[in-house]
Amino acid sequence: MNLGITGGLGCGKTTAAKLFEKKGFRRLDSDVLVREQVLSAPDVCKTLRTHFGSSIFTSEGVVNRKVLADRVFSEESELRWLEGLVHPRVFKLWRAALTAEPASHWAVEIPLLFERGLENWFDFTVCVACDPDQQIVRLEQRGLNRALAGQRISKQLPLARKIELADFVLLNSGSAEFLEAQIDRLVSALSPSAVPSPRAGLPPQTQT
């Protein structure tokens, strides 16, 4: 079974995916793939240096992701250019993983899952959502000021639309225990053998 995990910035996609991993799923984080594999690939670094110059690299020759993010989020055309460079490569990485181990249960974090029309790669899509004010607070805790947080949120499909499109919604405005209880119930509904005591299922488009 393959789950596509998405949601708004700061809503807790990674927290949810780690809980699925705890339940026996293999986890893939698209952001980690970008950071650890795509942005370190020699051909990508060469293309980035040609396009942006050396200012986005550290003195060690590593991509400075903060500088790069500041550059592209302030100019729509640059963001789209970077996505065109990075996204096909990261999608190829997680597709290869899913294809290589088709019998595994996968939880794949993809921030732009619906924006890129990737739903058909998954048995079910899961949107992690939280209160908008809490979303901003969490992003501020990561070091983004309120203006930057709002700017980056605006570059994605509105959270309300992601909720409409998802097969299942996890609410992450409460405690960690509340989120885990929802995931326990969802895993039980989708894959009864994955937990000791299956419980009642959840229909699609139902918030858990």
Hey, which bits of the chain come out as E strands?
A: 2-7, 26-29, 106-109, 124-129, 168-171, 206-207
Q: Which of 84, 83, 80, 47 is nearest to 63 (CA)?
A: 47
> To the nearest whole percent, how much of the chain has pLDDT over 90?
69
Out of 78-87, 116-125, 137-146, 175-184, pick the least confident: 137-146
Maximum C-alpha span of the chain: 56
User: Does residue 206 surpass a pLDDT of 80?
Assistant: no
Q: Taking the model in full, what pTM does it have?
A: 0.84
Burial pattern 89-120, b for ≥16 Cβ within 10 A else e, equals bbbeebeeebeeeeeebbbbbbbebbbeebbe
Q: Is 168 exposed, middle or buried (0-12, 13-18, 19+ CB in 10 A)?
A: buried
Report CA 17 to chain centroid distance, whole Å.
9
Backbone angles phi, psi at 160, to 5 degrees: -60, -35
Tokens of 126: 């899961």
Domains and CATH numbers, the chain: 1-25+106-208 (3.40.50.300), 35-104 (3.40.50.300)
Interval 89-131: pLDDT, tens: 999 999 999 999 988 999 999 999 999 999 999 999 999 999 9
